[in-house]
Amino acid sequence: MSKEKIKESNEADDLQQGRREFLKNVCASSVAALVAAPASAEAAVDPANPDADVTVAEFFQGHFILMSDEEKKQAIARLEKRYSAQYGKKTTVSDVPAPEGVLFGYALDISKCIGCRRCVHACVKENNQSRHDPEVQWIQVMKMPKGNISFTTEQLDKGYPEQSEFGDYGVQVGGNAYKTAGFSTEDAQNYYNDDLVPDKDFFYVPVQCQQCEKPPCVKACPVRATFRDHAGVVLIDYNWCIGCRMCQLACPYHARRFNWGEPNLPAEEMNPKTHYFGNRPRMRGVMEKCTFCVQRTREGRNPACLEACPVGARKFGNLLDPESDVRRVLATKRVFRFKEEYGTYPKFFYYIG
């Protein structure tokens, strides 16, 4: 029953449904693309100049979801050839579909997180982000003060607040406990650079794509380059994205990152196991974000950030499986979602263990 329900609300399926009628149009109107595709896949690749090998075929490439199997094969062969030449190692681009009967979910224990940012850099290593200019990181860790920083006894015990020039006739003029405390982005520090963590007066909240059930980014994309797959993960077709950044504007979690310039990815650090919707090297001017490591999780492995976390604060699994780590957390811990008031229903849960 629940599986059927998920299928119904599946945005990727909507895309698929329209595919047949759509393909007719595409085929009719972009014959040029089809003709050009096989020819240029053979074309020689100049590894020194990545700009020159944006071939005609790639330019005319359609939305990946709407391609025929033959077109998909060609597109992937093109990419593998180009990446292998460009980075000097055998690169695979997978298009493994999302497993059936799975809804991915994530849980993060903010009482355990020590703010070491290992997840951030594990993600960078796994997902082939641009290392500098622009530096792209999909996870950002907020450092938030515990209540004892905001409040001290002396400060709280100052008696009544000073009278305003209007007197105190029912005018709300504040008090001694007017500072933010606890889970609030108001006093969050995103650029903390301490010698040692955790700082005892602070706690840490890593934020990445929350894989919303009602993703505002998918709604905002004018070309459907971003969509939700049937395992509940929001993905991007980097070759279809037009770089308008409406999704970045729509996202209430600051989860999306833009390739402002040509990404800088050293060949020796490049991860050659890639997925079309996941960690394959991106090009200038497209959006990217956390995919729950689609190249790993679709094949059964945990995301890189989870594996790097030294304290086991991160839990990942199938929300449809009551035996999974995430469901166990949901069942036994006090769970909340970040910015629930936006009504996006994330599948990323925070809990206090």
Dihedral of CA atoms 71, 130, 307, 273 in degrees, nearest 10, equals 30
Contacting another protein (CB under 8 A), which of 242, 336, 340, 352? 242
Per-residue contact track with another protein, 171 to 190, x per CB under 8 A? -------xxx---xxxxxxx
Q: Which two tokens stand for residue 334?
A: 């006090």
Instruction: State the number of binding residues for another protein (CB under 8 A).
Output: 117
**Of the listed pieces 1-9, 40-48, 70-78, 108-116, which binds another protein according to CB under 8 A?**
108-116
Task: Find the binding residues for another protein in span 28-67 (CB under 8 A).
Answer: 29-30, 51, 59, 63, 66
Contacting another protein (CB under 8 A), which of 46, 70, 168, 194? 194
> What is the smallest separation between the CB atom of 278 and another protein, expressed in angstroms?
14
Q: Could you say whether residue 3 binds another protein (CB under 8 A)?
A: no
Q: Could you say whether residue 213 binds another protein (CB under 8 A)?
A: no
Q: Could you say whether residue 262 binds another protein (CB under 8 A)?
A: yes
* Strand bridging mode 104-109 / 273-275: unpaired
Going from the C-alpha of 151 to that of each of 57, 172, 174, 200, the distances in angstroms are 62, 20, 15, 15
- Using a 10 angstrom Cβ sphere, with 0-12 exposed, 13-18 middle and 19 or more buried, the burial of residue 78 is buried
Nearest in space to 286 (alpha carbons), one of 274, 277, 295? 277
Contacting another protein (CB under 8 A), which of 135, 161, 164, 336? 135
Asked if 312 and 126 count as a contact pair (C-beta separation under 8 A), the reply is no
Residue closer to another protein, measured from CB, 74 or 318: 318
Contacting another protein (CB under 8 A), which of 6, 234, 325, 349? 325
> What is the smallest separation between the CB atom of 159 and another protein, expressed in angstroms?
19
Alpha-carbon gap, residue 193 to 197, rounded angstroms: 9
Whether omega before 310 lies within 30 degrees of 0, making that bond cis, reads no
* Strand bridging mode 226-228 / 234-236: antiparallel
Q: Could you say whether residue 84 binds another protein (CB under 8 A)?
A: no
Which residues are CB-contacts of 281 (< 8 A; sequence separation ≥ 6)? 83, 86, 87, 128, 263, 265, 270, 274
**Of the listed pieces 68-76, 79-87, 161-169, 252-260, which binds another protein according to CB under 8 A?**
252-260
> What is the smallest separation between the CB atom of 246 and another protein, expressed in angstroms?
5
Task: Find the binding residues for another protein in span 271-300 (CB under 8 A).
Answer: 271-273, 284-287, 297, 300
